[in-house]
Structure 1
Amino acid sequence: MKIPDKAKQSVRQMQEHLRGKGLHLTEEQVFQKLVEYEMIDVFGNPTPFALENGYVETI
Protein backbone atom coordinates (compact mmCIF):
# COMPACT_ATOMS: atom_id res chain seq x y z
CA MET A 1 0.00 0.00 0.00
CA LYS A 2 1.46 3.35 -1.06
CA ILE A 3 1.78 5.96 1.68
CA PRO A 4 0.09 9.25 0.72
CA ASP A 5 2.42 12.26 0.81
CA LYS A 6 0.32 13.98 3.48
CA ALA A 7 0.76 10.99 5.82
CA LYS A 8 4.52 10.54 5.44
CA GLN A 9 5.52 12.96 8.22
CA SER A 10 3.14 11.38 10.72
CA VAL A 11 4.21 7.88 9.73
CA ARG A 12 7.88 8.78 10.17
CA GLN A 13 7.20 10.36 13.57
CA MET A 14 5.38 7.25 14.72
CA GLN A 15 8.12 5.04 13.31
CA GLU A 16 10.75 6.95 15.34
CA HIS A 17 8.59 6.74 18.45
CA LEU A 18 8.25 2.99 18.03
CA ARG A 19 11.99 2.57 17.41
CA GLY A 20 12.59 4.29 20.75
CA LYS A 21 10.45 1.55 22.30
CA GLY A 22 12.46 -1.18 20.57
CA LEU A 23 10.01 -1.87 17.72
CA HIS A 24 11.53 -1.75 14.26
CA LEU A 25 8.80 -1.47 11.63
CA THR A 26 8.98 -0.25 8.06
CA GLU A 27 7.11 2.91 7.06
CA GLU A 28 4.64 0.74 5.20
CA GLN A 29 3.98 -1.39 8.28
CA VAL A 30 3.46 1.70 10.44
CA PHE A 31 1.06 3.19 7.87
CA GLN A 32 -0.92 -0.05 7.72
CA LYS A 33 -1.20 -0.16 11.52
CA LEU A 34 -2.29 3.48 11.72
CA VAL A 35 -5.04 2.70 9.19
CA GLU A 36 -5.94 -0.58 10.92
CA TYR A 37 -6.28 1.16 14.30
CA GLU A 38 -8.32 3.96 12.72
CA MET A 39 -5.84 6.76 13.45
CA ILE A 40 -5.74 7.79 9.78
CA ASP A 41 -7.64 6.72 6.68
CA VAL A 42 -6.08 5.25 3.53
CA PHE A 43 -5.70 8.78 2.14
CA GLY A 44 -3.67 9.94 5.16
CA ASN A 45 -6.42 11.98 6.79
CA PRO A 46 -7.00 11.74 10.55
CA THR A 47 -10.17 9.84 11.36
CA PRO A 48 -12.99 11.29 13.46
CA PHE A 49 -12.13 8.66 16.10
CA ALA A 50 -8.51 9.84 16.33
CA LEU A 51 -9.50 13.52 16.42
CA GLU A 52 -12.25 13.06 19.01
CA ASN A 53 -9.94 11.08 21.30
CA GLY A 54 -6.97 13.40 20.96
CA TYR A 55 -4.71 10.84 19.28
CA VAL A 56 -4.18 13.12 16.28
CA GLU A 57 -4.48 16.89 16.09
CA THR A 58 -3.73 17.52 12.43
CA ILE A 59 -1.79 16.05 9.55
Structure 2
Amino acid sequence: MMQEANANSPVVLLRRQILEAQEKLKTLTAAAERKAEQTRLSELHTKLAIKMEAFRKYS
Protein backbone atom coordinates (compact mmCIF):
# COMPACT_ATOMS: atom_id res chain seq x y z
CA MET A 1 0.00 0.00 0.00
CA MET A 2 2.81 2.42 0.88
CA GLN A 3 4.59 1.48 -2.32
CA GLU A 4 1.51 2.25 -4.38
CA ALA A 5 1.25 5.68 -2.78
CA ASN A 6 5.01 6.19 -3.21
CA ALA A 7 5.26 6.85 0.54
CA ASN A 8 8.12 6.15 2.91
CA SER A 9 8.14 5.40 6.60
CA PRO A 10 9.32 8.13 8.97
CA VAL A 11 12.44 6.07 9.70
CA VAL A 12 13.41 5.99 6.03
CA LEU A 13 12.85 9.73 5.74
CA LEU A 14 14.94 10.44 8.84
CA ARG A 15 17.79 8.25 7.58
CA ARG A 16 17.72 10.07 4.26
CA GLN A 17 17.82 13.43 6.06
CA ILE A 18 20.74 12.24 8.19
CA LEU A 19 22.72 11.21 5.13
CA GLU A 20 22.02 14.55 3.46
CA ALA A 21 23.05 16.46 6.59
CA GLN A 22 26.29 14.46 6.84
CA GLU A 23 27.13 15.25 3.23
CA LYS A 24 26.36 18.93 3.77
CA LEU A 25 28.53 18.98 6.90
CA LYS A 26 31.50 17.72 4.86
CA THR A 27 31.30 20.80 2.63
CA LEU A 28 30.95 23.47 5.32
CA THR A 29 34.01 25.39 6.47
CA ALA A 30 32.66 28.25 8.60
CA ALA A 31 32.56 27.36 12.29
CA ALA A 32 29.09 28.80 12.88
CA GLU A 33 27.61 26.95 9.91
CA ARG A 34 29.27 23.69 10.97
CA LYS A 35 27.95 24.03 14.51
CA ALA A 36 24.42 24.70 13.27
CA GLU A 37 24.54 21.67 10.97
CA GLN A 38 25.99 19.49 13.73
CA THR A 39 23.11 20.55 15.98
CA ARG A 40 20.62 19.67 13.25
CA LEU A 41 22.34 16.34 12.70
CA SER A 42 22.24 15.46 16.39
CA GLU A 43 18.53 16.32 16.52
CA LEU A 44 17.89 14.02 13.56
CA HIS A 45 19.83 11.21 15.24
CA THR A 46 17.80 11.69 18.41
CA LYS A 47 14.52 11.59 16.50
CA LEU A 48 15.63 8.42 14.71
CA ALA A 49 16.59 6.77 18.00
CA ILE A 50 13.18 7.62 19.49
CA LYS A 51 11.35 6.23 16.44
CA MET A 52 13.43 3.05 16.46
CA GLU A 53 12.88 2.52 20.17
CA ALA A 54 9.12 2.96 19.76
CA PHE A 55 9.17 0.52 16.85
CA ARG A 56 11.02 -2.10 18.92
CA LYS A 57 8.83 -1.55 21.95
CA TYR A 58 5.42 -1.58 20.26
CA SER A 59 5.93 -3.84 17.27
TM-score range, shorter chain: 0.3 to 0.5
Q: TM-score, normalised by structure 1?
A: 0.34
- The answer to which structure has the higher helix fraction is 2
Larger Rg: 2
RCO (CA 8 Å, sep 6+): is it higher in 1 or 2? 2
Q: TM-score, normalised by structure 2?
A: 0.34
